[in-house]
Each structure stands twice: as C-alpha cells, then as structure tokens.
Chain A
Amino acid sequence: MSFLAPLFFVALAGLAIPVLLHLTQREKKQVQRFPSLMFVRRIPYQSVRRRKIQNWLLLLVRMAALALIVLAFARPFLSRPDAPLVPGQGAREVVVLLDTSYSMGFGDRWGRAQAAAAQAVQGLGSSDRGSVVLFSSSADILVRSSAERERLASAVAGAKPGAGSTRYAPALKVAGSILAESQLPRREVVLVSDLQRGGWRGEEGARLPAGTTLTPVVIGGPVSQPNLTVTGVSLARSTFANQERVVVTAGVSNRSEQRVAGASATLEMGGLPIGTRPLTLEPGASASVTFDPVTIGGRNMRGTVELSADALAADNLFHFVLSPAEPVRVAVLDRGGASSLYLSQALAIGEAPRFETVVRQPEALSDGELQRSAVVVLNDVAVADALARRLAAFVERGGGLLVAAGARASWPGGVDLLPASIGAPVDRTRGTAARMGAVEYASPVFEPFRAPGSGEFATTRIYGYRSVSPVSAALVLARFDTGAPAMLERRVGNGRALLWTSSLDQSWSDLPIKPVFLPLVHRAVSHLAVYREPQPWVTVGQVLEASAAGRPRERVVSRVVLTPSGERSPLGDEGEGVLEVREQGFYEIRGAASDVTVVAGNVDPAEGDLTPMDPQDIVAAAAGGSAETARAAAVPQGPEAQERNQRIWWYLLCAGVVLLGVDTALSNRTAKA
C-alpha cells in the first residue's frame, strides 16, 4: 500500500490532543471551597499521578477515529499488479460490431463480413463473454454480454445489410457502454466494416474505456466492379394544356475505379417504364439524365429512377412521389370595383404555391366556395352577423381569414374572431404620413424580410388606418411609427385570423405599389393556409411525422403505416407519431377511408462512395491509441481504475466518522454517569 498524500501523516501529531484532553478534561475551572486545606497541603503534589487517564476506552476510540481520518486524507492506494492487463491472461469481454449499412452489400463484402464476425465469435474462450452489435447510422445490440457462443453465432448469421448509411460513433459508444459495465479483465472490440471514410466524422466523443483493444476487420479490397449511384432527382413542374407535367432529371455518379459503359437509367412512373437512357461514365464522373416530360395523373404517383445492375444494388434505385400541386384557394370578398385589383394581381402570380382566387361580394359567398377555400380575404367590407358567424366556424375548422380594415370595414361585435376590435379611422393625410415602425420578423409572415435588403417597409406611407383594441390572445406582428398596431394575428381553434388595420388598395396607403406587397401577401396567405411544400422523398434515417405530406394537423387521426417490406405499424398523433424510415421504397400512410399518403424512402447516396479510411485513424481516435494488444498493458490506468484502487480512503473516512459518533455516544453516557 502506498499513499498519495503522505504529508498528511504530520497530522498524526494531533493524536496527542485527545491524550492531553483526557489528562486535563476532568480538571474543572469551578473552585471547590473547603473548610481548611491543612491536610491537603501536607500531601505532596505529584503531577504524574495527577494526570491519570480516566477513560481508556474513550481515549482509544478518539485516537482511532483521528488516526483513521488522517489515514484517509493521506489517500492510501493499493498498487496491486494489474494482472488483467497482461496480454493473453484472464477472461475477455468481446464486442463484435458488424456494419450493416447498405454499402456492405457491395460484391461479396457481406459474406466476408459475416465470416469475420463469426470467426471472432468462435474465438471466444469458455470464460469469455461476447456481444453482437449491428450498426449503420444507429446501433442495435442483438446479444449483450453472453457466454453462449451459439447464440452469438446465430445472431451474426441472421443479420443482413439494411438501407442505412455508416456511422461509427454510435456503434463505438454502445460498445463502450457494454465494456464499461463488464467486470472481465480484458476488453476487446472487433469492428467488422468496410470502413468507409464517409462514416467517420472525426471526434464524436466515441471513446472506448481505457485498456480496450479495438481490432478493425476491414472488409474492403479494390472497387474494381462497376458501381453507379443515383445521387438525386430534380423535378421541374410545368403546366401544359391545363395539365401539370414534370420533367425528371436524375444525377448519376460513377463511384468505381473503372469506366462504366453500356449502363442505362430507366424512369418508371406508377409501375410503367417511361423511358431509358444509356449511360457512359468515367471513373469518379457524374452525369445528369433527363427524361421526357411526364403528366401527373393523380395523387401519390410513384416514380423510380433505376440504373442497370451493378455490384452495389441499393444505390441504383431512387424513388419519389409526385402529386399534382394543389393550389391555395382564396376567396376575396370586396365591394366590387377595382378595390381588389392589386390583391388579385398579386395572388395571380406564383407557382409554389399557386393561388386560385375567387372574388365575391360578401353576401354572394356560397357555402361550397367557403368550404373549398383555404383562406378568405375580407378586403375592406362591412361584415354582417350571419357571414361573421360562418367565417368564425370556417376559421375554427382550420381556415385562414385575412381582414383588411379600410374605411368601410366593420365587424359585428357579437362574434369574437378578430385579433382586435376595429375602432375609428385615423386620418394621416395631413402632416406626415404614418410609416411601418416595429415589425415582428420572428413571425412567419415577416420572416423572409428579416435579412437586410430583403424588403423595406419603412418607405411605405400609410395615410389612414383604423385604430384597434387588441384582444388578449392577439399577437401584434407590426406597428406603425405611432405605436398603433398595423398587423395582428390570432389563433382561433385550428385556424388563424390576420388583421391588417389599413387598406390593401391605394386609397389609404402606397403599400400595393411597393416591392414588399407581393411577397407580403403571398406569405400572409400561405401562412393562413398552413401551406407546406410537398416533399417528394425522404432519406433513410429520417423520421416520418404524423402530419407528414403537408397534411394539416387537424385531419390527422390514428394512421397505419405500411412499410416497403409489408409491415404495418401504427402512427398516432402523439409521441408515437414518429416513425424512422429504415427501408428503401414506398411507405404508405393510411388514414381514414381513401386518405392515403405515399412517402418515398431513399438510401443516402453518400454511402455509395466506398472510399475507405485508414483503420489506424479510427483506432487512434476511438481507443486513444491503446489499440495494439502488446501495448495495451503499458497503458496507464484510467481514472476509474485509479479511483477504484484508491477508494479505500473513503472507507477509512467513513470508519473515522462512525468512531466519532461512537465517541459522542460514549462521552455523553460518561458525562451522564
């Protein structure tokens, strides 16, 4: 046993303190009055006799407590020979990390990887324990620290490559956690992988416990076989003869070391081949393949770009889903004339999304039109009570309402829908006109104008506006320079209501002729319509949300997801409403009746790049340079091991404290006696 802080032994001199205390403690300061000291004076005063220790037990307890505490502070540690670290001795804890990313499907790599993993399992001794961890972008523990070799071997044999991409860090972290819990003296990690460079993103905190031996088994070799990858697809929509058409362009890379000639790329739409293009690519080169335009026939049209067969099949496919771009239907209510000219012109421009506008007199708005509309714009109209109630129900269901409060605008007081009650007009035609002051750029309406030069509201002149009294639930998105609200938003039920306190024509402001008018109207209407750009595909590893495919949340009920492999799993609205895309292909999300959404899942094209990394890089980074078995023994103990050997101080301190407690009890008892 040695001591980390032997200087603390000086404190052992403190052992004299209890001795002195015991010799003097009973001498009270209180004076005893006595008739005469005639006889006492005759007795010789002997200091040694006088200092007689009264309570040996108490003294010993006190001295032992003090000695233990001093010993604890001296930090004793056991420098026992660390037999476990001597190579070739002691039981092993072996974690086999088997790469199941789709790149392992290249050529005969998977077979070799399985053989290497099986060999590592077979190499386990009777006292060894093994774990099998499959990893791609995440890691799954198939068997955790088991001594049954058959179980481990069957786990290896049953594994197959998936559609994920390679990430080493999660796998190494899992291995580290398994090893950290292990009590066995020798720890090993066998990493069976093609060691793609793309899977290692540098230091990610994936460090193995000290003394761990990391053995990478590289399943590589020259990439001589052809390997083409579809790196992506671009979809250019256009409208031709009232039909929406899309031109599909696929990006293709040659990831092999040899020239590929005679390959082809085929586009299939809805299961039917649309066209095939021949491909010839130099090593490392990329090309774009453009197919003939395709008319979008209906919702959820499945498209696939497929390359001719090569050594790695997974990255030859690229799926996407096409649906006709649905316009945002807007009903504009005005008093006729040219009051909605600027507004309708602004809404007539735009592709993503496209706006479909109908202009009506307030009383002419039919229920069917209201039902079809996503957004209703009240352009400076007086709203009757009945219409207000219809609009309130419409917003409650999830619709959007934009109110431009010009000189004629009014709203019945009995219907609580607007973000503010509309008050008297404020005339700013005399003197300086009002300008837009504070703008809430965090709001989705104004978010595009956040960056400098993205649109200037300050130059807009407002000659008149309505004074308003916001309700408590209202959010003021913009104010005039006087501080009066310019734009307010309120969430009502599933929908939203926006109030612009001035007009949307030129009667009260010059906003319609400013450059910010068009993007502002587009953003406001898109925001009210809860518009999301459709996503033609997702990459494996991403998650599907319940409100996927641009579906408004209110329509989401409990859904079922049909995976490409045919499995069914529920996709609810709450916490379980998230499903990780793990397979390549089309996921069907089935809701009520005919409500079916199709999501295309694609593999990460970066995984098709098989360029390997230097095994020593990952060994050095993950195992802190202690990879070589021979050097493992020389590696100094980690802080945990050191702490384990030094933990004795803790027990000593506890014993000391316990003895102090005993001392207190004893001295109390003595005092009472």
Chain B
Amino acid sequence: MAVEIHAVPGARFMDPSVLARIGNLELVSRAVVDGFINGLHKAPYFGASVDFAEHRGYVPGDDIRRLDWRVWARTDRYYIKEYEAESNMNFSVLLDVSKSMDFGSRGITKFDYARILTACLTNLVHHQRDRVGFVAFDTEVVEHVPPSAKHMETVLHVLDRLKPGRPGNLQGPLHKLAEHFGRRGIVVVISDFYEEPGAVLEALSPLRFRGNDLIVFHVMDPAELEFGFDDAQPFEDLESGEQIPVVPEAFREEYRSLVKAHVDTLAQSCAAVRVDYTMVDTSKPLDHALFAYLNGRARRMKSR
C-alpha cells in the first residue's frame, strides 16, 4: 500500500520529549493522531457497515462515494455518512509498567513514551470505532480497563494516573490475561522486554491463542541501545537495586552486540509466530511506531 505522507506542520514528527511536556494525554494523542490521519492521503480504514451512525463534515481525502447527496441537495453542504463499523473489534493495549520502564536519557522516559504511544493508538483505534481496552501490568495486573467503544476516556484517565514502581515479569500477568481475551481482537504489548527471548515468547504466545492479532512494541531508550556513557561508575539495576562497577568504554561494544542479538532474536522469534514486532526508539517521533502499527494492520487485512 502506497502511503504518501503529507507534511502537516506542528502535528507530525513531534519530538517525544516535547510531547512529554504536555500533560494532557488526550490532547497529545489527538495532536499526534489527527495530524497523522489527516496526513494520509487516503484513509485506509472506513466502516463498511450498513448501520448508519452519524453525519459528519466532509474533509478532503474522504471517499466521495460516502457523501450523502441528499443532505447536499438540502443544505448545499457535503456530509459524509458514517456507519457503525462492521469490523469493530477488541483492541487492547498491554502496557508494562515495571520499574525498568521508568528510565529516560533524552528528556522522556520509556514509560512516558509508551504512555503516549498507548494514548495515540487508543485514539487512533477509537477513530476506527473499535473497542479499546487497556491493561497495565508489572509482576501482576495493575490496571484493567475492559475493551469498549466508550472506554477511550477511561483508558486515558487510567494512563494518566499510572506510575511505574515495581519490578516486572511478563509471564505471570500475560498468561493470566490471555484467558480474558475471549473475543478475537488486536492485542498490543508495549514493554522493554528485559527477559530472555525464550521467556518473552513463552509469555506472549498465549495471547495469540484465540486468534488475536498480537503486536509487540519493544520500547528502548537510546542509552540502552548505544550505551553512550563515559565515566566509569557503578550502575544500579532499577528493578533489583543491584550495583555493578562499569567502565562503559570497555563494555560498550560487547553490550551493543548483546542488545542487538537480543533484539534480533526477539524479532525473529516474533516473526516465526506471526507476531508483529517493532523496536521503538524513544528518541524517534511517535509516527514511526504508528506507521509500524498501521503497516502491520494493513498487511494483516490484505492477507485476511
């Protein structure tokens, strides 16, 4: 699918650290998503239902086949007929709120990034009339908002309240959650995946059992990827509190190769089980993640 990107100033490619400074998640997500959607030359998703929902004003890019000519004839204005999407399905975001997510070297923590990403996805999906749900977890489930078409506000509120604080574990909460996703839908897992790839896969696999589409966002800070520290100093594990003396210069190469191997392994493993895996760098604008999501979604729809 050819996607042309139309540059809408101020809305797209916003620096995540700038977005992080805006407290209101709804505002942030709307700023990102609206610009994003408006920027798409052709909206890839529209409700293909017969159940009329509402009228809304025509915006360039809308399919003119959906114009309500009768209304035009009456009012001399273009209106689009909106229908209850037929394909509305459950869209759940599973957000890792373990302590390790509370790290940021460039003005925005991974957690904040993930929060904004969640808000954006929720917003985006909400635009598609899908039902949005949200789960926050560390070693266990911290917050659970069941999927609903009306739950976007709730999700944003919950997101707003969240604070990472405890060590994390994927397997326990994810296995437990897998049982709840009875209806087929899309499950997005956002985490930093500080576990062995095998364990990660084992934790993720159950989420796919009921035919859910599983999309994985692996959020990483540039410091975690590049290990660009200079001074020899003790490093403290955010979750366990363990300290290790580290000379970054000596460690850097080996560390990078280990992280790369980890990421590669995860990507390969995910691909093997048809899980969309996206590595997200918190220094990059959110659009990358959203594109990744939409591309994956589009591919999936095609293949369906």
In the complex, which of the residues A27, A35, A37, A46 contacts B110, with contact meaning CB atoms closer than 8 Å?
A: A35
**Do the beta carbons of B224 and A35 come within 8 Å of each other?**
yes
A257 to B243, CA, bound (A): 110
A33 neighbours in B (Cβ, 8 Å)? 103, 235-236, 238
**Do the beta carbons of A43 and B235 come within 8 Å of each other?**
no
A50 interface residue per 8 A CB criterion: yes
B192 neighbours in A (Cβ, 8 Å)? 35-36
A239 interface residue per 8 A CB criterion: no
Of B118-126, B179-187, B254-262, the one contacting chain A is B254-262
**Do the beta carbons of A35 and B232 come within 8 Å of each other?**
no
A56 neighbours in B (Cβ, 8 Å)? none
A80 interface residue per 8 A CB criterion: no
Q: A35-B100, A50-B250 are in contact. Are A43 and B238 (CB under 8 A)?
A: no
**Do the beta carbons of B103 and A32 come within 8 Å of each other?**
no
**Do the beta carbons of A27 and B245 come within 8 Å of each other?**
yes
Q: Which of A29-56 contact B (CB under 8 A)?
A: 29-43, 45-46, 49-50, 52
Candidate in A28, A38, A42, A49 with the most chain B CB atoms within 10 angstroms:
A38
Q: Mark B246-258, 1 if CB is under 8 A from A, else 0.
A: 1101110011001
**Do the beta carbons of A31 and B233 come within 8 Å of each other?**
yes
Q: How large is the interface on B (under 10, 10 to 19, 20 to 34, 35 or more residues)?
A: 20 to 34
A201 interface residue per 8 A CB criterion: no
B236 neighbours in A (Cβ, 8 Å)? 31-34
Q: How large is the interface on A (under 10, 10 to 19, 20 to 34, 35 or more residues)?
A: 20 to 34
**Do the beta carbons of B100 and A32 come within 8 Å of each other?**
no
B244 interface residue per 8 A CB criterion: yes
**Do the beta carbons of A34 and B235 come within 8 Å of each other?**
yes
A27 neighbours in B (Cβ, 8 Å)? 231-233, 245, 247
A669 interface residue per 8 A CB criterion: no
**Do the beta carbons of A32 and B247 come within 8 Å of each other?**
no
A26 interface residue per 8 A CB criterion: yes
**Do the beta carbons of A38 and B238 come within 8 Å of each other?**
no
**Nearest-CB residue, chain B, relative to A25:** B232
A26 to B230, CA, bound (A): 9
B239 neighbours in A (Cβ, 8 Å)? 35-36
B194 interface residue per 8 A CB criterion: yes
B276 interface residue per 8 A CB criterion: no
B101 interface residue per 8 A CB criterion: yes
B251 neighbours in A (Cβ, 8 Å)? 40, 43
Q: A39-B258, A40-B255, A43-B258 are in contact. Are A32 and B249 (CB under 8 A)?
A: no
CB distance from B190 to the nearest CB of A (A): 14
CB distance from A160 to the nearest CB of B (A): 89
A30 neighbours in B (Cβ, 8 Å)? 233
CB distance from B253 to the nearest CB of A (A): 10
**Do the beta carbons of B238 and A32 come within 8 Å of each other?**
no
**Nearest-CB residue, chain A, relative to B242:** A37
B237 interface residue per 8 A CB criterion: yes
**Do the beta carbons of A40 and B244 come within 8 Å of each other?**
yes
A29 to B103, CA, bound (A): 20
**Do the beta carbons of B250 and A46 come within 8 Å of each other?**
yes
Interface of B is mostly: mixed
**Do the beta carbons of B246 and A32 come within 8 Å of each other?**
yes
**Do the beta carbons of A31 and B255 come within 8 Å of each other?**
no
**Nearest-CB residue, chain A, relative to B257:** A39
A38 to B235, CA, bound (A): 12
A344 to B194, CA, bound (A): 130
A35 to B254, CA, bound (A): 17
A41 neighbours in B (Cβ, 8 Å)? 244
**Do the beta carbons of B255 and A36 come within 8 Å of each other?**
no
Q: A27-B245, A42-B258, A49-B247 are in contact. Are A36 and B237 (CB under 8 A)?
A: yes
**Do the beta carbons of A28 and B233 come within 8 Å of each other?**
yes
Q: A35-B101, A39-B255, A41-B244 are in contact. Are A52 and B233 (CB under 8 A)?
A: no
B231 neighbours in A (Cβ, 8 Å)? 26-28
Candidate in B221, B237, B255, B259 with the most chain A CB atoms within 10 angstroms:
B237
A34 neighbours in B (Cβ, 8 Å)? 103, 224, 235-238
**Nearest-CB residue, chain B, relative to A49:** B250
B262 neighbours in A (Cβ, 8 Å)? 39
Q: Mark B200-220, 1 if CB is under 8 A from A, else 0.
A: 000000000000000000000
B72 interface residue per 8 A CB criterion: no
B101 neighbours in A (Cβ, 8 Å)? 35
**Do the beta carbons of A26 and B232 come within 8 Å of each other?**
yes
**Do the beta carbons of A37 and B235 come within 8 Å of each other?**
yes
**Do the beta carbons of B221 and A35 come within 8 Å of each other?**
yes
B234 interface residue per 8 A CB criterion: yes
B52 interface residue per 8 A CB criterion: no
B258 neighbours in A (Cβ, 8 Å)? 39, 42-43
CB distance from B105 to the nearest CB of A (A): 10
A39 to B195, CA, bound (A): 10
A39 to B221, CA, bound (A): 15
A35 to B250, CA, bound (A): 19
B237 neighbours in A (Cβ, 8 Å)? 34-37
**Nearest-CB residue, chain A, relative to B223:** A34
B240 neighbours in A (Cβ, 8 Å)? 37
A35 neighbours in B (Cβ, 8 Å)? 100-101, 103, 110, 192, 194, 221, 224, 237-239
**Do the beta carbons of B246 and A40 come within 8 Å of each other?**
yes
Sorted from nearest, which 7 A-B pairs have the closest CB atoms?
Answer: A35-B100, A36-B194, A27-B232, A39-B258, A35-B103, A28-B233, A37-B237
- A residues touching B (Cβ–Cβ < 8 Å)? 26-43, 45-46, 49-50, 52
Instruction: Please name 6 pairs of A and B residues whose Cβ atoms are closer than 8 Å in the assembled complex, sorted by A.
Output: A27-B247, A32-B233, A34-B237, A36-B239, A42-B258, A50-B250
Contacts A32-B234, A35-B100, A37-B235 known; 8 new A-B pairs at CB < 8 A: A31-B234, A32-B246, A33-B103, A34-B224, A35-B237, A35-B238, A43-B255, A50-B245
